[in-house]
Amino acid sequence: MAKVALITGGAKGIGCAVGLDLAQAGWDIAFCYRTADAAAADAAALIQKHGRRAMAERCDVSDPAAAEAFAGKVEREFGPVEALINCAGPYHRVNILEETPAGWNEMFAHNLHAVFYMSKALAPAMKARKSGRIINFSMANADQMVAQTEVTAHYIAKAGVLILTRTLAKALAPHGITVNALSPGFINSGSAPEAELAAMAKKIPAGYIGELQDAVSAVRFLLSEEARYVTGTNIHLSGGWGI
């Protein structure tokens, strides 16, 4: 029986790349997205092209009821979820003094609360099986706790993801479940203009922008048997930026 991965934010970018890589490795993939219908259909078709089952669900997992319902649907239709990969993490750029309550709450809902809701929804079944992997996405400098005047709520939420990751890791380790964070810096995921990425490369100690494959390889490691004793950690995926 194929292993099942559930990926939030799996229609585009890192989430999509991870899903395709796992499908090639023999996993069945269920992913959710909020708005990218066309991209989601393309991603599902590519997964199926690799001979694996794909479920693409338009779902806002910052809604706890929706998160629980999606998790339940995946486990009913695809079977036990071995890997939860929390990739969803939108942001907007606005000065802290001009941020609105709605914008502030949105950043926490989608970047932090959704991770809690999805983890809570899938943890009971993972505990019963004494098996499971959870990977959460933060950002490369979130552990530095520096001032971020233009992406304040997003930044604080991503710092919260690190605390939540360590807390879940401690709570779930006795049940054979690992929980880790990946913290990307600048990854060429297709969403940022090439000129902007080229300018940022000068600020990265490694001297270049990361590729989707760099993120895919890190996820693959954390899901591997070689990482069975790795839990509660935060892996910087940034070429030295933000540390």
Residues classed as catalytic: 155
Q: How many CB atoms lie within 10 A of CB 145?
A: 10
Which run of H or E residues covers position 125? helix 114-129
Q: How many CB atoms lie within 10 A of CB 211?
A: 13
What b/e string do you get for 146-166 counting C-beta neighbours within 10 Å, with b at 16 or more? eebeebbbbbbbbbbbbebbb
The residues near 197 (Cβ < 8 Å, ≥ 6 apart) are 186, 188, 209
The residues near 239 (Cβ < 8 Å, ≥ 6 apart) are 185, 186, 204, 205, 206, 207, 208, 209, 210
